[in-house]
Structure 1
């Protein structure tokens, strides 16, 4: 167990705050006691010393870096004092935004100033004054910039409803950020906005995070911000927000451990609706995408189904790799009479199947409390909990919009083959308890 010296400044016997021993006079070998892992994982409130005057302060409201040391007179710099020096305590920023290495660098700079008899607090004020623009430009707030951005991109929205949702989400759930200067929005502030709805309204929270990220990205492009985006999810907020103990969903879903049994029962049923439902499950597609599927969208040779942008919710073309069983379903339906414009899963009389037709299959199987769309959640739960596929691959398989530039590059690269492997594994999982009948 570490001694108190590792967590807080030492006090002299009978000590009071003004008798604090200075951190900067500690020997060099007593420094660098913290690790990145501990900085991220330590939960207990208190002061945790790294040495050399640098401390990690953990409070219920968050964690931050502080420097504690002593200013002694040197040269022409004089102060009135009654003890060996004047205590200095300075904040060095949030531990969520300032990594350990950067905090150590800032602490080293402060120690240098103290050795020269310079008050670092005075220097900080001077720097802020010098950094102020010559003219009195109004401060741009997050809310004002977000609305300005929204006005400039609103022509790209699918519908007026989507535009309204953008505004409503920010005004309702990001209200604490609206009056914050766009240049000063921090990770801690974003976490405080997302955390209350992260588990209870996961879809809304996820959209909100993406919208905040987009606003801050645009602000950086316009020169209103510097540094990394504090709203980025991967490798950042995903490590800080609570893990969901259960998937929050609007569409009741079958637990993935029951999907193989369901598929076994489904394959005992004949009819176009049963095959369409099975195909929908195997491809993790939306019901409407399957029901509106035409033979022109299918490339049997490349084992690929390409859904045009006009039929996709996100308005972007979506490629679906086809597993052996998905291919078997298509090969059974293919014949010399079909034309490219024909539906792959036609209704009995004419046109495409209705959504109620697929739902009726589930009801006839005596399955209550689940929906066709819910099988997408079943797939996501399975992929997230039972496989090691990257989150980007899973989200792309579900045709979800991928926001970051890194993920968009991933989409253009090797993601298709990764998704093919993912859908193959999903098909194997769905048929792990199947009988010996061949597709």
Structure 2
């Protein structure tokens, strides 16, 4: 009895439903429905002799035809007619399909080096990554520095698990943070190569498998704390900073006042700033930490701007056609270099080995905890640290902006306490 369209729609039990003549509808545990063709094909290895008479052996085979989402019942029946004809003519449909697949792989893989495949993968995926290209730059930079010099020119189908291990092992202890980022990237690139028919077999960079052959990341990686001056040293530093001219000193003081990261400050554009309301709204895609909740879209991060922060914004130089708040003095229509503030701190002001730009966030956090009565949660929100737990985040509908305004105003007053400017 052939299946009707209603029977196909209603089929929800985990089993196979026969349509007759070798065609079956298979329903998986998660409800996915696929077509398959079941047939017997001669197998000389199973030939036997019974009562002096030879008996031909067969093997039972099941060939997947695809999901019902892409093949309706009529197409599945037509396909089975072709496959039954192949069986009658002595051709095993599954072996023929595998032979054609191998032929396609041989055609596609010619000249496909690992670097070529990696570049194609990044070109495909970068559209879904964060705006601004930070993820793309990170991928291309890490691969160019650590991977391409080793296996970049090797055909992607010639690279095996041992090659990947040889690549990763030296990095695993020398630059563990980079190595742990590279592993999933390699995994995804090789998965892409397999899906595109550029290589067959197992993924040589399967992360779960390779981790069993690599030292535990937690044992070889001890996160380094950013060097930071104590919070009571910051006011004197800010006083010295205000004696300097240029965009970099302005940007560094603005970073200290807002307690945010280098990338967020140098990436600031004028359309993010509301001078009248004293609010800086950083789009979610520019934030290192994404605010998320169960089923919610990512949210922007709002920063309350103190009077001193607003004064800096009103004093910074402008360039026609340049959207950046802190502009480059050497490259037209560009923002400040990501090394400008660090160079100022280390080389110009002599704090090499004593402090880092990122360390001012630590100074702010310690000040808030030890010198104020503000709740820890406010300081964490000011640093753009949000709950990783999606359930907790889903119930928090506020960024506590109004409560953070006095916190940031008090921080600004503290860091300005030894300066002539208010």
Give me the TM-score of the superposition, normalised by structure 2. 0.44
Larger Rg: 2
Larger RCO, structures 1/2 (Cα 8 Å, 6+ apart): 2
